[in-house]
Structure 1
């Protein structure tokens, strides 16, 4: 519609330039009015286009943030499970580390503890939505800068911190596994396993496998910031937040 108006008034300006029945002052006045009309139509067209583009961008932001809210909620559930798992691992390492090398093992309890010592559980956050929005260059469309900063901090700093701490835990597990594998001199029997676990090196490696407080702190920080982000997204879109209740 705006394009049609621009074309119409541009044509009129050209026609006015060719007319000879009016003086130049009259033609200049009419041409000026038409040019002002064209400028207004162009400005209106640009404004309407920008308004439509902004509305589309904010629709994408809304879909992204509500999706991120779901992703972070799932991550927080995983954080709770991880905390429980690592406390269970620590209790298990403590049990194994206190076993007396001169005593006979209680077969069922020892076997269960020995198997658990080989387990692991690492944080696997849902990041594909965030990475896709980031790679498309759309993060800048989020107008709430405080919320954007928190999202960046969560995905760029806190996630990396957790991965770093978990890498240290994984490295200690690898050392423990290598010790068990290389230390078996004969059949993989209960007696052989017990000998390795209760040996000085086995006890030392079990102590090293205890979870560093740093990892628990980083899980806690991630959960706290994630909860803040969910709260702010709910504040941005209260209607959507009510639907989830």
Structure 2
């Protein structure tokens, strides 16, 4: 394009030096040449812009495909964590309401030897969050390429607010579960019945139960947000 502009400039210069042409003719010809130059430059800029836009949208398409996979994996991991939390809520709610008389009845039955291990099997939640693709795209300043404003808002909210908040929820829940383990070790000499109805253990179980309920609610909320993102990405894929 630059070579064409130089050639057009030479043409204009040649017109001005042409003594056989009238001033009016020269001006008309120069105006036409200028229009041609401006038109050529405009078309060139437009084509470059279209090419750049196409490349940007291809990057967006690849990015959305990548985070769709990431978020789908996150949904699966959250489902597993949620199932574990549901079991903890069921078991700890039962223990919280259990009376000594009920326990004595259970202890005399076939479940007596395994009751405590079955009902207090809360596990620490170990969940990795797949955010490498998002962080890479964001750090390169390309999030703005996403034209779907609703989708962009959902993605930003999910990665910048929802996932960090869920990590905090996990941290507090895991700390509460660890307290049960630590207290079990501290009071290892106690008989099961005495340990199970220990006021301090009951307090720890109550806190853990509340944390499990809060965590479950958080997982369900964020899972819905993740599903919204998947749905919006699939809309983009059908466009």
Q: TM-score, normalising length from structure 2?
A: 0.82
User: What corresponds to 2:67 in structure 1?
Assistant: 68
Provide closer, same or farther for how the CA distance between residues 99 and 81 of structure 1 changes in structure 2, counting only shifts above 3 A. farther
- Describe the superposition over 1:175-218 as per-residue Cα deviations: whole angstroms up to 9, x where unpaired: 33443344457xxxxx5676544422112212211144332222
Task: Write out aligned runs for 1:83-94 (5 A).
Answer: 83-94=82-93
State how far apart, in whole Å, the 2-side matches of 1:16 and 1:181 are. Answer: 99
Provide closer, same or farther for how the CA distance between residues 45 and 61 of structure 1 changes in structure 2, counting only shifts above 3 A. same
State how far apart, in whole Å, the 2-side matches of 1:21 and 1:203 are. Answer: 108
Contact 1:158 1:221 in 2 (8 A): no
Q: How many residues align?
A: 231
- Describe the superposition over 1:34-90 as per-residue Cα deviations: whole angstroms up to 9, x where unpaired: 111111111111100000000000001111112222222221112211111111223
Task: Write out aligned runs for 1:61-210 (5 A).
Answer: 61-94=60-93, 98=98, 100=100, 106-113=112-119, 116-117=121-122, 119-184=123-188, 195-210=194-209
| SS of alignment partner, residue 107 of structure 1 | coil
User: What corresponds to 1:51 in structure 2?
Assistant: 50
User: What corresponds to 2:236 in structure 1?
Assistant: 236
State how far apart, in whole Å, the 2-side matches of 1:57 and 1:159 are. Answer: 27
| SS of alignment partner, residue 121 of structure 1 | coil
The structure whose RCO (Cα within 8 Å, separation 6+) is larger is 2
Mean Cα deviation higher: 86-95 or 28-37 = 86-95
Contact 1:3 1:45 in 2 (8 A): no
State how far apart, in whole Å, the 1-side matches of 2:115 and 2:191 are. Answer: 16
Shift of 1:222: 1.5
Provide closer, same or farther for how the CA distance between residues 27 and 162 of structure 1 changes in structure 2, counting only shifts above 3 A. same
User: What corresponds to 1:42 in structure 2?
Assistant: 41
Contact 1:169 1:209 in 2 (8 A): yes
State how far apart, in whole Å, the 2-side matches of 1:230 and 1:31 are. Answer: 57
Shift of 1:161: 2.6
State how far apart, in whole Å, the 1-side matches of 2:181 and 2:214 are. Answer: 23
CA RMSD of aligned residues (A): 2.7
**Structure 1, unaligned stretches of length 5 or more?**
186-190, 240-245
